[in-house]
Amino acid sequence: MLKTRASGILLHPTSLPGRFGSGDLGKDAYRFVDWLSDAGQSYWQVLPLGEIGPGNSPYMSRSAFAGNVLLIDLAELAEHGWLEQGELESAPDFHANRVDFCVTLPFRMARLRQAARRFFNIKNSQIRREYEVFCEAEIDWLRDYALFMAIAEHQDWREWDFWPGDLARREAQALRDFEIRFADEIDFWKFCQWCFARQWFHLKEYANSRNIRIIGDVPIFVAYQSADVWAHQELFKLDAAGRPIAVAGVPPDYFSETGQLWGNPVYRWAVHEESGFDWWIARMRQAFRLADVVRVDHFRGFAAYWEIPAGAPNAIGGEWVTSPGDHLFQVMQRSFPTLPILAEDLGIITPDVAELRDKFELPGMRVLQFAFGDNETNPFLPHNYVSNTVAYTGTHDNDTTLGWWSTLPDREKGFAQQYLRSDGLAVHWDMMRALSASVANTVIFPLQDVLGLNSEHRMNFPGKPCGNWEWRFTWDQVRAEQTEQLAEISAENARIPIQEM
């Protein structure tokens, strides 16, 4: 799939315009697909679609399988009669260019609960049967997810190791008693996932019909406060009380003297191997359903990961621990007809990481903002790319290109201007042109760069605990000349839309 020259845009769906506080799977998502087509693009890279976690990050989701209920299009629920127009018209005065999660979350959740109440009053209808079919088809993960969410809510969202012991240990009788007592609450979370799935697959089908492919995202680790860890405690390094023994992160480097302490529980890889990697195969099967291509975050962790003792104040005292990535990807090869995977191979990349990536012919990533700190041997410079590469001006973790440029040291700025043959007045377009002209089969641009936006429009700042994942664009920021220029650049460099799935 990534062997054809093509171009795409990076945008999380919450960044879309929309009436109800954040982007969702409604009409503006379809309009964005139409814009991608008009701009000569082939890919929409969406980032993780899962539930948000601490810091509103989709990389710390409460489930590796569930969709983000904040993305549910409320207007579509009203079309079914599950919401009244007055309930939508009473929306607060949301920000058009930011997601205020403290306001958006309660507004949307209240309406989802109202929609669920009306839906479950329906008896013996075709749409009710569709819901039941979905619940049966997704039972392997949906039951645990809905149980987890219902219990967590009744426990005031405390981490699950602080729940009553019988629920934390998943004792069968305790779970049955809870399911009987709180059946309506459990059904609500199933209803939300059914709504998300209906709407997402309809949008994906529309995108594919317009020759737009979806690039999804699978974080290598999962959040401790998740249905996955609670339901599969044997797969993670936990103690007898269910608390992590060790957590994930990255070691000290140029960017951080103390490294990064992510806090995700790490895997008991031996147990995964003994099961034939069943959980991973199920997870990737779901990811391949949701997207046409899947970016695997922190790919280097499949060769070796940085393991930090639980309770450590920072990542300094960690150590590299080998992962059975080769065996896992062999099992994946046998389980799926193809492996449409993009390896996020940024950071500390050792030869074993590159060998694992290349053995399975997975494209890696290059970020042009990283290219100008050294000399012409820098692997992030376009003339050093190989074709099996996905190249970016920047990612969701970087500043916008104009923001990056405004703080770039003079020496690096001079090198960049010389390399790009740029006067610096429209460096974002100069960088997009350089990537598009490169041998990389796939190039991806954050929408902020196409729109020429500064640091105020950055999506995420790693290590910053709040204020991330809030950026939204508005349609009045999208000008016809930007659309035409992007289409021209793609056409000039033979990055024409992919016509066949």
CA 6/CA 490 separation, integer angstroms: 8
Nearest to 107 by CA among 121, 97, 93: 93
Query: At residue 240, what are phi and psi to the nearest 5 degrees?
Result: -65, -25
Long-range contacts of 53-60 (CB under 8 A, 24+ apart): 53/223, 53/225, 53/226, 54/223, 54/465, 55/465, 55/466, 55/468, 55/469, 56/99, 56/101, 56/468, 56/469, 56/470, 57/460, 57/468, 57/469, 58/12, 58/217, 58/469, 59/219, 59/297, 60/223, 60/264
DSSP of 27-60: HHHHHHHHHHHHTT--EEE----S---GGG-GGG
Q: Which among 283, 251, 245 has a CA at the least distance from the CA of 264?
A: 245
At a CB cut-off of 8 Å and minimum separation 6, what does 315 contact? 249, 250, 251, 252, 258, 259, 260, 261, 306, 308
Q: For residues 22 and 94, what is the distance between their CA atoms, to the nearest angstrom?
A: 9
Handedness of CA 371, 374, 378, 383 (dihedral sign): positive
Of 350, 418, 416, the closest CA to residue 380 belongs to: 416
Beta bridge partners of residue 442, listed in sequence order = 6, 390
Full 3-state SS string of 138-172? CHHHHHHHHHHHHHHHHCCCCCHHHCCHHHHCCCH
Active site (annotated) includes residue 397: yes
Instruction: Respond yes or no: is residue 344 known to be catalytic.
Output: yes
Outline where DSSP puts E strands in 356-426.
364-367, 389-392
| 484 is annotated as an active-site residue | no
Q: Are strands 6-10 and 442-446 parallel, antiparallel or unpaired?
A: parallel
**Encoding tokens for residue 263?**
């806090």
Question: Could you tell me the strand order of the sheet in which 213-218 lies?
Answer: 341-343, 293-296, 213-218, 43-45, 6-10, 442-446, 389-392, 364-367
Dihedral of alpha carbons 360, 346, 37, 208, sign: positive
| CA–CA dist 54, 158 (Å, integer) | 13
Active-site pick, 144, 217, 297, 399: 297
At residue 269, what is the residue type? W
Catalytic residue among 73, 292, 307, 344: 344
> What are the catalytic residues?
297, 344, 397
